[in-house]
Structures are given as structure tokens and as C-alpha cells.
């Protein structure tokens, strides 16, 4: 499994614009200590510890007390007036979209830094204050941060000392040239550019991890359903290893819709890989037919048990599945456990690739499956506790074909006919709901003709894995 994304951020002039409040407090401090502080110069490149800023202008014995006085005055004068910089909240949200952690590492006095976080509702997991320059490296290493975002050359030093990627923004006083000379890896005009940069960085990092995984394996047999995930994995394997070291394997059984078979074959043949279609006999497994909440365990167990000896006979050491990173956190997925227990690998999951990233990369590669709707096996349409039989699967397939013929011209993308026993529940894209009276009646008639006595169109619309609602 890939490690979690952890991104560190500086605070002053990276996430928040502290100049106005900081300047006002410096003027107040200058009045109290009867010294003319060069406020504009001192606030031009905020970031260094306060004691360092004050040291050139006050006797040594006054620096500490002046700093204490500054921090005492700070909460009443420099919290509510300080705004978040443009793009700050969006940058933090971008990390969350990738299920990442946010670590705030700042030279600021921790209680005052926390006041800014609370006032501006900055979404951070950890705040570490009073650390500066290379001193930030210890925190970044401890928290596993792979990226550190700051505005100052000393933020670059901290990132480099931690072995993290240094991302610099020009919202502080440091110039592009100064930051690049300090060794930063990336310079952005502002945090507004960060979400797009992070999306691309994470995608390329994970694609690189996938390539390394496949290359280390040398050859693979892809458990290939024809869906977007397994199709992408098959294409990635061919790009990395070449078609001669890749075999696509599609298990043929009653649970695989006939409509899926020819497109899957065409795609595999277009990549120049061998496609094998062994029969699988999950219906002979009692646990599968009983259709409890663990049905997918028996299905995937059957598939991997069939494919593993076929792979070995061809000198291929690993069967790989199209399980992605979203699947791994989606809750109840007994099929994943069955594959893991039998030694199958999940390179997409291990690289951290999500469904959205797989679709994006598929689109870039020109794969026709990039926007293919999810297409789970026919057995997933049968309510838990209702026995899975060839008859039930066949009538579900007939019903879905009929509904797709009826609603396809209306823009239908996602469709499920759920077999609830004697009754069918039809799920279509929410954008098509509610159906007008005539198409509703036509759908009901078509599904009844496929073999169901009672039919209802689910007003909630299509929901992937909606059968799992019963388990809750």
C-alpha cells in the first residue's frame, strides 16, 4: 500500500497575510520602547523569529521582554484583522481530496498561530510552532511530509533538509530568483495555483509508482473484466512490459453480461495481448449461491483459483486485479480479501490510484474505456439472501438490455435492475428522474416482460453498491 500524502505548510505569508497586523504591533512596540523601528523593512520578508527581527534595533536585554510584550498584545490586535491569502482554503482542501494530512509548521508562537487557525477555520491536522529554517526539517521528517509549502528561502532550507519537495509561493517578500537559488523545486505565483499543481503531481507520482511495480514483476496476468480499471491496468502493463509479457484473462460465467464480452475482447486485441477466457464456476460454490454479504469473496476466490495455475503454466508469477485505491477504503469488500489471501496483487491500489485518476490517465492515453460507466457483475443485482441462479441472472440481463434500449436516447449512463426476489427495482441516473408517465410505464412493462412480477423505479436513482445498504 502507498503511504499517505502528507503536506506541510508555512503560516505567515503562505496561508495568511500577517503584514498589516504585524506592522501595527511593531509600531506599538516602538512607541513603548521609544525606538524608531523600520516597520516596512521588517515586514518585507516575514518568517524569521521575532527575536531575530528585533535584535538589530534593541539592546540585548530588551529583546526578550519586547518579544513577550509583542505576543501579549498580538491576540487583541492581529487575529481578526488578518485574512487568509487567496487560495489558502482551496489548497488545504486539495490535500484532503487526496486523503492527505496537513501539517502546519511555523516559526510563530504556537498559541497565536492556533488563534489564526481557529479564526480562519484552516483545516489542519497538526500545528507545530516556534520552529524556523532547517529546524522545520525535524517536524517534517517526523510527520512524514513529502511536500513543504512556504514563501521564504528559509522554508526552502527546511524542506530540503527534510528531504521533502519544496514548493514556494510568491506571496511573501522573496523573489523567484532568490527561491530558485535557495534550491526550491517549484515556484507558484500564489496558492491559487496549488490545487492544480498538486493534482498533477500526485497523478504523476502514482503513475510512476505503478510503472515501477509492474516493471519489478516482469510479467503479469491481468484479471480483466473489460471495465475502466482493469482496462487501464492492462494498458499500463503493456506500456511498461510489452504485450509479450502480459496476458489478459476474462472469466466467463453466467455473471458476466454478454454485452460486455465483445468490447472487452476488442480492447485487448487492440493492445496486442493474448486474451484467454476460461470458464469459472462460482455458481458451484455454496457460499456464492447463498448470496450472503460475503458473496463476492467466493466469486473472487473462484476467479483467482482458476487464473493462478494458468499464469504459472505460462511462466507468469503474478495475477493482478483492477482494485483501485477507492475500493480499498470503500468499506465492505470481501472480494478484495479473497484476492489478497490468494496472492493476487493490486497494483492500482498499491500505487494509490483513485477512480478519478484512472479515468483521467485513461483519457490522456486515448483509451475508449476512460468514461465507461461502472459495470459490476450481474450477481451484484440480486438482493442479499436471495439465491443466485442462472435464471435470475438471465432475467436481470434481459431487463437491463430492454431498459437501456428505451432510455438510451435520453442520455442514460448508469443502470441497475435489482432483483429483490419477486420484485425488481430499477435504478437509473438521477438526472433522468423523475421519469415522465409514458417512459415510466414503458420501463415497467419491459422489466415485467423480462420475467419480473412487480417493478418499481427507485426514486433515489442509481447508487453504486446500493445493495450494501441492506447490510447496514
> pLDDT tens, 309-325?
999 999 998 999 999 99
Measured over the CA atoms of residue 429, residue 434, residue 436 and residue 437, the dihedral's sign is: positive
Question: Could you tell me how far CA 338 lies from the centroid of its own chain?
Answer: 24
Helix axes 194-217, 228-241, angle to 10 degrees: 60
Whether 238 and 269 share a structural domain:
yes
Per-residue pLDDT averaged across 319-344, rounded?
91
Does the pLDDT at position 1 exceed 70?
Answer: no
Domain count, the chain: 4
Q: Coil, helix or strand for 19? A: helix
For residues 251 and 260, what is the distance between their CA atoms, to the nearest angstrom? 12
- Percent of all residues in the chain with a pLDDT value above 70, rounded to a whole number: 98
Better-scored residue on pLDDT, 346 or 256 = 346
Per-residue pLDDT averaged across 215-239, rounded?
97
Q: Which of 350, 444, 425 is nearest to 386 (CA)?
A: 425
Considering the entire predicted model, what is its pTM?
A: 0.85
Per-residue pLDDT averaged across 423-432, rounded?
96
Helix (H) or strand (E) holding 40: helix 39-42
**Least confident piece of the model among 70-84, 335-349, 390-404:** 70-84
Whether 117 and 71 share a structural domain:
no
- Within-domain flag for 209: no
Residues near 18 by beta carbon (within 8 Å), at least 6 away in sequence: 11, 12, 46, 78, 82
pLDDT reported for residue 41: 87
Whether 291 and 426 share a structural domain:
no
For residues 159 and 151, what is the distance between their CA atoms, to the nearest angstrom? 12
Cis before 280 (ω within 30) = no
CATH number at residue 155: 3.40.50.1000
Distances (CA, A) of 200 to 8, 86, 194, 232, 361: 18, 20, 10, 18, 11
pLDDT tens by residue, 298-309: 999 999 999 999
For residues 273 and 312, what is the distance between their CA atoms, to the nearest angstrom? 17
pLDDT reported for residue 2: 46
Whether 229 and 346 share a structural domain:
yes
Whether 341 and 230 share a structural domain:
yes
Whether 257 and 346 share a structural domain:
yes
Per-residue pLDDT averaged across 122-146, rounded?
97
Whether 192 and 116 share a structural domain:
yes
Does the pLDDT at position 232 exceed 70?
Answer: yes
Q: What is the DSSP string of 98-151?
A: TT-EEEEE-SS-HHHHHHHHHHHT---SEEE-S--GGGHHHHHHHHT-SEEEES
Q: Per DSSP, what are the bridge partners of residue 122?
A: none
Per-residue pLDDT averaged across 186-200, rounded?
98
Does the pLDDT at position 466 exceed 90?
Answer: no
Q: Which domain holds residue 462?
A: 378-471
Q: Coil, helix or strand for 457? A: strand
- Within-domain flag for 138: yes
For residues 11 and 122, what is the distance between their CA atoms, to the nearest angstrom? 10
Q: Coil, helix or strand for 5? A: coil
Strand order through the sheet with 147-150? 126-128, 101-105, 6-9, 147-150, 165-169, 186-188
Which cell numbers in the block locate residue 132? 524556523
- Within-domain flag for 262: yes
Average pLDDT, the chain: 93
Per-residue pLDDT averaged across 336-360, rounded?
96
For residues 154 and 159, what is the distance between their CA atoms, to the nearest angstrom? 9
CATH number at residue 463: 3.30.300.10
CATH number at residue 246: 3.40.50.620
Most confidently modeled range among 328-342, 343-357, 372-386, 454-468: 343-357
C-alpha neighbours within 13 Å on the C-beta side of residue 12? 31
Does the pLDDT at position 385 exceed 90?
Answer: yes
Whether 419 and 355 share a structural domain:
no
Whether 315 and 395 share a structural domain:
no
- Within-domain flag for 1: no
Whether 37 and 151 share a structural domain:
no
Distances (CA, A) of 72 to 52, 67, 69, 77, 109: 18, 9, 5, 10, 11
Q: Phi and psi at residue 116, in whole multiples of 5°?
A: -65, -45
Whether 284 and 412 share a structural domain:
no
pLDDT tens by residue, 137-190: 999 999 999 999 999 999 999 999 999 999 999 999 899 999 999 999 999 999
- Within-domain flag for 212: no
The residue from 136, 167, 201 where one domain ends is 201
Whether 314 and 352 share a structural domain:
yes
pLDDT reported for residue 78: 86
Amino acid at each position: 500500500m502507498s503511504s499517505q500524502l502528507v503536506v506541510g505548510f508555512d503560516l505567515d505569508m503562505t496561508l495568511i497575510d500577517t503584514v498589516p497586523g504585524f506592522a501595527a504591533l511593531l509600531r506599538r512596540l516602538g512607541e513603548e520602547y521609544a525606538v524608531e523601528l523600520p516597520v516596512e523593512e521588517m515586514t518585507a520578508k516575514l518568517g524569521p523569529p521575532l527575536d531575530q527581527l528585533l535584535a538589530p534595533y534593541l539592546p540585548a536585554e530588551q529583546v526578550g521582554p519586547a518579544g513577550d510584550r509583542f505576543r501579549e498584545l498580538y491576540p487583541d490586535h492581529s487575529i481578526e484583522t488578518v485574512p487568509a491569502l487567496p487560495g489558502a482554503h482551496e489548497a488545504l482542501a486539495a490535500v484532503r481530496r487526496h486523503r492527505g494530512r496537513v501539517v502546519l509548521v511555523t516559526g510563530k508562537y504556537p498559541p497565536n498561530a492556533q488563534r489564526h487557525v481557529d479564526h480562519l477555520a484552516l483545516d489542519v491536522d497538526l500545528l507545530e510552532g516556534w520552529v524556523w529554517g532547517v529546524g522545520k526539517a525535524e517536524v517534517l521528517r517526523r510527520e512524514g511530509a513529502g511536500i513543504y509549502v512556504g514563501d521564504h528561502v528559509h522554508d526552502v532550507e527546511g524542506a530540503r533538509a527534510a528531504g521533502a519537495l519544496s514548493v514556494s509561493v510568491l506571496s511573501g517578500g522573496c523573489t523567484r530568483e532568490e527561491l530558485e537559488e535557495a534550491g526550491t523545486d517549484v515556484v507558484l505565483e500564489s496558492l491559487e495555483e496549488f490545487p492544480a499543481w498538486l493534482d498533477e503531481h500526485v497523478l504523476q507520482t502514482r503513475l510512476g509508482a505503478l510503472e515501477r511495480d509492474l516493471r519489478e514483476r516482469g510479467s503479469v496476468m491481468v484479471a480483466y473484466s473489460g471495465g475502466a480499471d482493469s482496462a487501464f491496468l492492462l494498458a499500463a502493463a503493456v506500456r511498461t512490459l510489452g504485450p509479450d509479457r502480459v496476458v489478459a484473462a476474462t472469466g466467463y460465467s453466467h455473471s458476466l453480461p454478454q454485452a460486455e464480452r465483445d468490447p472487452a475482447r476488442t480492447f485487448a486485441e487492440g493492445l496486442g495481448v493474448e486474451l484467454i477466457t476460461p470458464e469459472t464456476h462460482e455458481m458451484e460454490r455454496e457460499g456464492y449461491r447463498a448470496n450472503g454479504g460475503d458473496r463476492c469473496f467466493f466469486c473472487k476466490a473462484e476467479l483467482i483459483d482458476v487464473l493462478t495455475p494458468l499464469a504459472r503454466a505460462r511462466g507468469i508469477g503474478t495475477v493482478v486485479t483492477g482494485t483501485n485505491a477507492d475500493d480499498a477504503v470503500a468499506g465492505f469488500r470481501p472480494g478484495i480479501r479473497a484476492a489478497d489471501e490468494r496472492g493476487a496483487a493490486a497494483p492500482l491500489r498499491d500505487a494509490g490510484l483513485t477512480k478519478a485518476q484512472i479515468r483521467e490517465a485513461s483519457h490522456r492515453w486515448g483509451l475508449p474505456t476512460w468514461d465507461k460507466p461502472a459495470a459490476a457483475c450481474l450477481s451484484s443485482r440480486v438482493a442479499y439472501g436471495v439465491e443466485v441462479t442462472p435464471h435470475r441472472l438471465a432475467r436481470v440481463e434481459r431487463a437491463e438490455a430492454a431498459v437501456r434500449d428505451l432510455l438510451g436516447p435520453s442520455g442514460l449512463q448508469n443502470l441497475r435492475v435489482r432483483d429483490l426476489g419477486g420484485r425488481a427495482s430499477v435504478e437509473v441516473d438521477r438526472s433522468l428522474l423523475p421519469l415522465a408517465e409514458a417512459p415510466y410505464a414503458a420501463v415497467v412493462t419491459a422489466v415485467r416482460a423480462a420475467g419480473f412480477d412487480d417493478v418499481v423505479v427507485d426514486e433515489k436513482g442509481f447508487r453504486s453498491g446500493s445493495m450494501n445498504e441492506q447490510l447496514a
